[in-house]
């Protein structure tokens, strides 16, 4: 299946897509030298990538107002079509993704937001409008020399402007695009060819009992995605991130992609082969580096980054969706997808995270219990609770999931365990949900994790708790 890579951005309230092969770099906003008597969409000249180029206000071109998503500073997307190089100012650079060509199509005249936006595609629930940049260039040919001949420069001239204008254009050099990322005060870069997609992480579900480098699960295209702490994998302080930018990467040896969480994607830069240098004593995931503006940037390899933990990831990563091929029996005939009735789950909350468990294991639910302490370690239980007709041992999942519970009388779910009754104390019982088989994803068996699947319940991803791994054996 053929794909085209796009850079996604917002201009005003309009989501637009730019072909990535036209993008030279993405940088922070830069000082502008205004030019009188310029076309309305030209804000002036900027000095970016060691050269002077026109700055185009896409909001003026596309007749859009400021975006509610815009930060205090906009971004500049440097785009080149042959010798025509321009900086396009956008409000927010949102993501980078590869789109199947079959899903890209023309827009009807009534759906076109502007004559330069004639094609589009749907991604992550949003329709993105493809900017016909080549048509825009053909209709608005310009170069810095021509602009300066027709207009008078004012006094905000960047250092080196005259010298840059007089210098001959540099010889073209073969370069590859890299995404520059921030991890705290550290800076790294990743080859864009290693990145399948860049997404903003908004919904993260913790995986209880997982190693420190596993942050949890999120949803991508209605499928669960394992999120890893990039800082922890690099030996930096783990657990400092719970939101940010996630790089969806494919790792050799894993059937499904994983996400590497970083603080921020800073922009795209292009690096020539002779600007990449090997590290004599390479660290995990970093075997080379480049130098940009006197700053050393380590080049991350996603496969090298997780090589030492590949076995653990194989046990934790959600299994990919199985799609039957035309010349093979359907998955249901191979018993890979069940046609059984929906699974009944009891959904619950512990702290800020949501979970569910098989309803057929639930005996009853108590609105509140008070725990009496047990001697010693309690054989793994946290106390005894009076249920009215018997006393049962209870394990407090609020403590298990690394919280300090303050409610002295929490709700309790009574379960059957080896012919006896035991309880699980939690923060809140939600409701019973019927989940179709298609909304369940198995998690490869791992005795250290108290979950065995991930369920999509409404707009949430919930880990399905493995009760037998949560409750100790009854030896009281």
- pLDDT tens-digit series, residues 168-214: 655 666 778 888 888 878 889 898 888 877 777 767 777 777 788 88
Is there a shared CATH topology between the 175-316 domain and the 340-470 domain? yes
3-state secondary structure string across 346-382: EEEEECCEEEEEEHHHEEEEECCCCCECCCCCHHHCC
Q: What is the pLDDT of residues 56-68, one digit of tens each?
A: 888 888 877 654 4
Q: Which two tokens stand for residue 411?
A: 């709700």
Mean pLDDT, rounded, for 451-462: 85
For residue 110 the two structure tokens come to 């009534």
Q: Domain limits of the chain? A: 3-166, 175-316, 340-470
**Do residues 466 and 371 lie in contact, with contact meaning Cβ atoms separated by under 8 Å?**
no
Predicted confidence (pLDDT) at residue 326 exceeds the cutoff of 80 = no
Place of tokens 């079509």: 81
pLDDT tens digits, 436-449:
888 888 876 666 67
Which stretch of 34-38, 144-148, 316-320 has the lowest confidence by average pLDDT? 144-148
Please say if the pLDDT value at position 268 is more than 80. no
Domain 3-166, what architecture?
Answer: Beta Barrel (2.40)
Output the CA–CA distances (angstroms, integers) from residue 342 to 125, 129, 454, in the order listed. 26, 38, 14
CB-based contacts of 30, cutoff 8 Å, min separation 6: 46, 47, 48, 76, 87
| Region 4-11 average pLDDT | 87
Name the CATH superfamily for 340-470: CheA-289, Domain 4 (2.40.50.180)
Going by C-alpha positions, the residue among 61, 64, 70, 75 that lies closest to residue 14 is: 64
pLDDT at 130 over 90: yes
CATH number for region 175-316: 2.40.50.180
Look at 361 and 330; give whichever has higher pLDDT.
361
């Amino acid at each position: 299946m053929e794909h085209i890579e796009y850079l996604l951005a917002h201009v005003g309230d309009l989501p637009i897509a730019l072909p990535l092969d036209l993008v030279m770099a993405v940088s922070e906003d830069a000082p502008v030298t205004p030019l009188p008597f310029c076309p309305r969409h030209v804000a002036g000249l900027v000095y970016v990538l060691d050269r002077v180029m026109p700055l185009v206000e896409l909001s003026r071109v596309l007749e859009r107002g400021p975006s509610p998503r815009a930060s205090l500073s906009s971004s500049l997307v440097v785009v080149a079509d042959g010798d025509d190089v321009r900086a396009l100012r956008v409000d927010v650079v949102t993501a980078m993704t590869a789109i199947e060509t079959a899903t890209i199509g023309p827009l009807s005249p009534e759906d076109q937001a502007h004559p330069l936006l004639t094609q589009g595609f749907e991604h992550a629930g949003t329709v993105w409008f493809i900017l016909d940049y080549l048509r825009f260039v053909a209709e608005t040919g310009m170069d810095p020399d021509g602009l300066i001949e027709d207009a008078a420069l004012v006094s905000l001239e960047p250092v080196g402007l005259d010298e840059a204008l007089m210098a001959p254009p540099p010889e073209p050099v073969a370069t590859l695009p890299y995404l520059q990322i921030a991890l705290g005060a550290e800076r790294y870069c990743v080859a864009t060819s290693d990145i399948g997609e860049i997404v903003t992480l908004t919904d993260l579900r913790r995986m209880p009992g997982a190693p420190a480098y596993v942050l949890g699960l999120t949803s991508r295209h209605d499928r669960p995605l394992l999120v890893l702490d990039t800082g922890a994998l690099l030996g930096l302080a783990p657990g400092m991130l719970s939101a940010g930018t996630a790089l969806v990467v494919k790792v050799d040896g894993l059937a499904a992609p994983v996400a590497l969480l970083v603080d921020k994607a800073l922009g795209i830069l292009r690096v020539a082969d002779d600007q990449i240098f090997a590290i004599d004593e390479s660290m995990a995931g970093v075997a080379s580096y480049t130098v940009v503006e006197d700053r050393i940037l380590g080049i991350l390899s996603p496969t090298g980054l997780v090589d030492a933990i590949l076995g653990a990831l194989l046990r934790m990563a959600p299994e990919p969706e199985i799609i039957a091929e035309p010349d093979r029996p359907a998955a249901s005939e191979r018993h890979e997808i069940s046609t059984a009735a929906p699974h009944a789950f009891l959904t619950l909350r512990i702290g800020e995270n949501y979970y569910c468990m098989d309803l057929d294991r639930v005996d009853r639910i108590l609105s509140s219990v008070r725990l009496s302490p047990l001697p010693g370690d309690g054989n793994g239980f946290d106390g005894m609770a009076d249920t009215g007709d018997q006393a049962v041992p209870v394990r407090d999942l609020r403590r298990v999931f690394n919280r300090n519970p303050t409610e002295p009388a929490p709700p309790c779910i009574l379960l059957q365990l080896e012919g006896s009754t035991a309880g699980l104390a939690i923060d809140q019982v939600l409701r019973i949900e019927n989940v179709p088989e298609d909304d369940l994803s198995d998690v490869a068996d791992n005795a250290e994790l108290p979950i065995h699947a991930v369920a999509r319940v409404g707009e949430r991803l919930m880990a399905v708790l493995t009760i037998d791994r949560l409750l100790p054996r009854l030896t009281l």
